[in-house]
Structure 1
Amino acid sequence: MDWKGLTDRFLLALRVHEELEFKIGSHYWYLGPASDNQGYEDKKGWITYQFYSDDIIYIPSENPKVIMNTKIQGKTLLEHFIEFEGKANNKNESNRFK
């Protein structure tokens, strides 16, 4: 999937309140609606967090541009997602020809 397709996939997930997964460094991160997560049930916006960690970033916005442009370790969430999905797609593509 190309950059535009991955951006559209990211935006669709935000629109339908679907959780997304990506990797930053050696850790997997998840992005999901704040209201779906314990302690944030009454909040609007999104959170991104590491699985099995207390490292949570609350994004107090439902605006897709704000969410996808939120930065962690110098890159936007969209950039992290595209990098993660691009690597996964390349791996799947190379395994297809083995």
Structure 2
Amino acid sequence: MAKFTDESARTDLLNRLKRAEGQLRGIQRMIEGGEPCLDIAGQMAAVRKALDSAYVRMTVCFMQQELQTRLAPDAKREAELTAVLDDVQTLLGKVR
């Protein structure tokens, strides 16, 4: 199984997860503080969306790394691969 070799992708994913972690801590404080359920539900939905977005980003990064490794290096192919994976990320983002 592939591991992150792109440092910027690794940093991006970690930042996304840290933001979601902060949102989760905020939800815990809301529950402890007796905030209205509707407000809590809104924050839970935001965390779910953030995690879904992180998952899509990780999936596309995995695909990119695997395809680059398995395909012969070629500048033209690299640009085409990037364009296709950008489209895949957009399509997967609409599933949420």
Q: Normalising to structure 2: TM-score of the pair?
A: 0.34
Higher-Rg structure is 2
Q: Which of the two has greater strand per residue?
A: 1
User: Whose relative contact order is higher, 1 or 2, with alpha carbons under 8 Å and at least 6 apart?
Assistant: 2
Q: Which of the two has greater helix per residue?
A: 2
